[in-house]
Amino acid sequence: MDEERLAIDGGEKSVPRLGPFPTKIGRQELLALIDLWEFSPQGRARVREIIKAEPEVQGPHLFRYYNPRPSAVAAAEKAMAELLGVRYCLGVNSCTSALMASYRALGIGAGDEVIVPAYTFFATASTVAASNAVPVIVEVDDSLTIDPEATQKAITARTKAMAVVHMRGAPAQMDAIMDLADRKGLPVVEDVAQSGGGSFGGKRLGSIGTMGCFSFDYYKIVVSGEGGFVATDDEFLYTRAQSWHDTAACWRPDRFASERREGELFCGENYRMGELAGAVAGVQISNTDEMLARYRRAKRRVKEAIEPRPGLSFRRITDDEGDTGICLVMFMPEADTAKRAITALQAEGVPAGGIYDSKVRDWHIYKYWEHILEKKTVAADGLPWSAIPENELPDYSENMCPRTLDLLARSVHVEIEQHYSDEDCEAIARGINKVLCVLLK
């Protein structure tokens, strides 16, 4: 080959340009996405035609960082922060990830204890153990949320945080919990997975404690298929949660900057939220209050039409205004009556179910968390249990929280759907009155 003038010396470029190439994520992927919507075959065919008639446009960039377009995840984080009234929100891929990132951000690790309620989805407690700390399980009360008195009694010199769960749509006792937290100087992690959008004392759940953890999985109130958020007012905790959620702060704004403050850089995991989930979450967040208004209205209509009966009581709601309204929980005087009521209500067509049946396993009840009760461990180091002297570990047993089991066994849970019509609400209340009139005399 003859010698030519190099491009850096003003010669011709060897590669004048590359591409344009077909987009990485394009028509086919969009069509696959459209298929997720259960449109009619005709509707789907029309959408297909429209998409195919368009030129092969640039597809979306589904990675939140280094995105040439404004990130949908970043927009959802902003919307979530505004909804909650907090300074920082971090989009993650689940509430389990949000809990893990929060515990790690708080510096929780081997030799520490975190207080958790006996009634919550397993993730609240399993992430404590996965952080190498020991979950200390305490009773719930008739609000079906953690009992502040039992929480106080469970505090030891090793306690590093209290995890408070707003179960089944209703707020925990945040006044008593925050008072305790202030007196003891302990951080509070709010698990808002089941109560997104709810509030206590006029403040959104997840904005009251030190860190709030949200689930956006499909079965929650505000959803994106899978997803979650961490909320906090504390810039350093946000930075640490961001580091944990992103392998080790790989994608911070100033990507290779050295540590600005001790505790900012460490090895983490990858819990990043993708742009598809971010786009869906953004829409759902903007509709939160409309959704909640519908749930609350339907619940009010059902509850107000239930006739008082001897032996009938309702789950205590700590703040009526802040209840999301996604369910109505009634207590029967005995577990047997609850069982009979549930069967009879289901026969009437009422969407009722039980919360605890001693013969049915359920990940929401501590009794079935054998990984914790039997102190299971993933590696030869024996963590989290090996970091605390054996005789100082919690005395786990299936019957350690009898009040929780009793309350749950006596519960009748009625599902509230936001789109119930007035007739639906009246029919449900009629079914409840019909059954309770026979069972509670």
Under the phi-then-psi rule, with left for phi > 0, alpha for psi from -120 to 50, and beta for the rest, what region is 121? beta
Residue 5 to residues 9, 10, 13, 18, Cα–Cα distance (Å): 6, 7, 10, 21
Residue partners of 267: CB distance under 8 A and separation at least 6: 247, 248
CB of residue 27 vs ligand PLP: minimum separation in angstroms? 31
Single out the segment in contact with ligand PLP by CB under 6 A; choices: 89-97, 146-154, 156-164, 330-338. Answer: 89-97
Task: Give min distance, CB of 391 to ligand PLP, in A.
Answer: 31
Q: Could you say whether residue 159 binds ligand PLP (CB under 6 A)?
A: no
> Cα–Cα distance between 100 and 111 in angstroms, integer?
16
Per rule CB under 6 A, is residue 96 in the interface with ligand PLP? yes
Based on the shown chain and the rule CB under 6 A, indicate whether residue 228 belongs to the binding site for ligand PLP.
yes
Q: Is residue 164 a contact residue for ligand PLP (CB under 6 A)?
A: no
Using CB under 6 A as the binding rule, whether residue 137 contacts ligand PLP is answered as: no
Q: Does 191 bind ligand PLP (CB under 6 A)?
A: yes
Q: Are 167 and 196 in contact (CB under 8 A)?
A: no
Shortest Cβ 216–ligand PLP spacing (Å) = 7
Least separation, in Å, of the C-beta of 282 and ligand PLP?
Answer: 17
Residue 121 interacting with ligand PLP (CB under 6 A): yes
Q: Which stretch binds ligand PLP (CB under 6 A): 19-27, 90-98, 329-337, 414-422?
A: 90-98
What are 88's two structure tokens? 């920082």
- Residue 131 interacts with ligand PLP (CB under 6 A): yes or no: no
Q: Is 271 in the site for ligand PLP (CB under 6 A)?
A: no
State which residue, 115 or 193, has the beta carbon closest to ligand PLP.
193
Q: Which helix (H) or strand (E) holds 415?
A: strand 411-415
β-strands 313-314, 327-331 pairing: antiparallel
- Is residue 193 part of the contact set for ligand PLP (CB under 6 A)? yes
**In degrees, to the nearest 5, what angle opens at C-alpha 315 toward C-alphas 155 and 410?**
90
Looking at 175-183, 188-196, 328-336, 397-405, which segment touches ligand PLP (CB under 6 A)? 188-196
Strand, helix or coil for residue 173: coil
- In this structure, what DSSP letter does residue 177 have? H
Minimum Å gap between C-beta 69 and ligand PLP is 26
Using DSSP's 3-state secondary structure scheme, residue 202 falls into coil
User: If binding is defined by CB under 6 A, does position 326 make contact with ligand PLP?
Assistant: no
d(CA 212, CA 124): 12
Among 373, 273, 314, which Cα is nearest to 67's?
A: 273
Binding residues for ligand PLP restricted to 408-427, rule: CB under 6 A:
none
Q: How far is the CB of 437 from ligand PLP (least distance, A)?
A: 34
Residue that has been written with the tokens 């994520």 in this structure: 25
Nearer to ligand PLP, 223 or 440 (CB): 223
Q: State the minimum distance, in angstroms, from the CB of residue 101 to ligand PLP.
A: 12
Residue 215 as a binder of ligand PLP (CB under 6 A): the answer is yes
**How many angstroms from the chain centroid is the CA of residue 437?**
37
The region of 40-48, 117-125, 196-204, 427-435 touching ligand PLP under the rule CB under 6 A is: 117-125
Q: Does 196 bind ligand PLP (CB under 6 A)?
A: no
In whole angstroms, how far apart are CA 406 and each of 151, 170, 317, 403? Answer: 19, 19, 18, 5
Q: What is the nearest approach in angstroms of ligand PLP to the Cβ of residue 227?
A: 7
DSSP 60: P
Query: Among residues 124, 239, 288, 324, which is the contact residue for ligand PLP, using CB under 6 A?
Result: 124
- Output the CA–CA distances (angstroms, integers) from residue 13 to 5, 46, 270, in the order listed: 10, 46, 41
Q: How many residues bind ligand PLP (CB under 6 A)?
A: 14
* C-alpha to C-alpha distance for 109 and 131, rounded to whole angstroms: 6
Residues found near ligand PLP in the complex (CB under 6 A): 94-96, 120-121, 123-124, 165, 191, 193-194, 215, 217, 228
